[in-house]
Structure 1
Amino acid sequence: MEASKLLKEKRFWFASVLIAWAAGLQGHMMWMQRQDSFKQKFGDLNQSKDADGDLNADV
């Protein structure tokens, strides 16, 4: 009885969606941070420059 009453409440669904959104946002931010640390460690492969300052097209 309690579970069916809980599933009918809008506050429950709002809280569930809010928690899922926050978890997704946190996962996305962690992924972005991992991408940034990779670029700092290895450089941006698409924008790497050679000694002359020209863009390197050997990717």
Structure 2
Amino acid sequence: MSDTASHVREFAKIMDRLDGARRLPGWIGRVEHAELPVIRNFACNLRTDLGTVVQG
């Protein structure tokens, strides 16, 4: 499985299980160091408004 698919699947699990408050900051931290500009940018944008993302 590609790194992109792996990160997307992990993000989907976090969202599906409504586990963003606990697991999303760690996911963002891992993705911010990935060699995947589009996903890295998505993660940076999530971090910018993490409170709202988690509440949503």
| TM-score normalised by L of structure 1 | 0.30
Larger gyration radius, structure 1 or structure 2: 1
Q: TM-score, normalised by structure 2?
A: 0.32
